[in-house]
A and B are shown apart, each in its own frame.
Chain A
Amino acid sequence: MKHIKTLTTRDLKESMKKGGCMECQTSCQSACKTSCTVGNQSCEKVK
């Protein structure tokens, strides 16, 4: 495309089908302990 460059992202709608196993890391166990960020975590199935 000439006007738009789309970054590769996970299709959230698609992730409803196979998601929800919740094997991924709990957000506060990473580094934060005072805030909540999940966008920086990785899926156990796709990594």
Chain B
Amino acid sequence: MTTVTADPAPPSTPSGRSARPSRLRRSWEKHWYAWAMVLPVVIVLAILIFYPLFRGIWLSLTNLTEANQAAEICTRSITGGEVCAENPNRWEFVGLDNYLNVLSGNVGDFWQWTGITLIWTLGCVVFHYGLGLGLAVMLNRPMWGRGLYRVLLVLPWAVPAFVSAFAWKFIFNERFGLANSLLTSLGIDPVDWFANQWTSLFTAIITNIWLGVPFMMVALLGGMQTIPGELYEAAEIDGASAWQRFRNITLPGLRPVSMTVILLGTIWTFNMFPIIFLVTEGQPAGGTEILVTGAFRAAFEGIRNYSLASTYGVLILSILLVFSMFYRRALRKQGEVW
């Protein structure tokens, strides 16, 4: 974990010839405005991300819950006085108990949730990227109505995610939803979408695809506009087909953008809370719970179990860190400096 400090005493400065105090001072004089510019963000991140992170890691090694957080238990006596005694069941350090409970399946369904999360993430990101790329290629050419198509296609992005979630839940309602009405009018029996694990997951994935394609499309369209037009002209003179131009110019030219949006998209989808939480609500019987929603329900429904929430958080973060490490290594192997 890299922590960032705005400490004006950096260990290394470019010029190493002068004596230490003056080097420090020169570094300060050279960089003070850069540090001043990033300082507010660093402070906010330090207080609200890094302190909570380390506190969360610590909490995951304890058994803190809503019920045992008090240091003292006070009881009012009949005379009106208050008697306080030390809480006998005060929360304490329990080592790796939480992790053992979660990973062995004693608490929650960690492995099932992980499986669903992987299906969910893979399904969403593949379709986000594929559809986004396809639409971007179609829009990246002069044609009639280009601006209009672009506005219409980006529109789902402008709708707040929770509104989209409600809209799709409404559409997939088993009694009066649009989806079943359309199926009935085509002569197909209506489907009870949220009664089956896979149809339920399907509705959530459809919702998220609808929601996420515009971002990919816009990012890839932006990337395509940085590819010089001369490359296409040269390829055309050499007699390259449209497919060859796409494979050998567009795709390589998009690589940097693609790598970033796929990484971000994967992380965002993995942690996407509102869609599953609102659309399927984990139905049927927790069958469509992904890690973040499952962890939330396990930890916050009933007596709030803070230590358990932290344990899940640490596990989720570890999975994502390992993933992005491998991802970056794979990129580096292919010569991508990033």
Q: Do A and B bind each other?
A: no
Residues of A within 8 A of B (CB): none
Residues of B within 8 A of A (CB): none
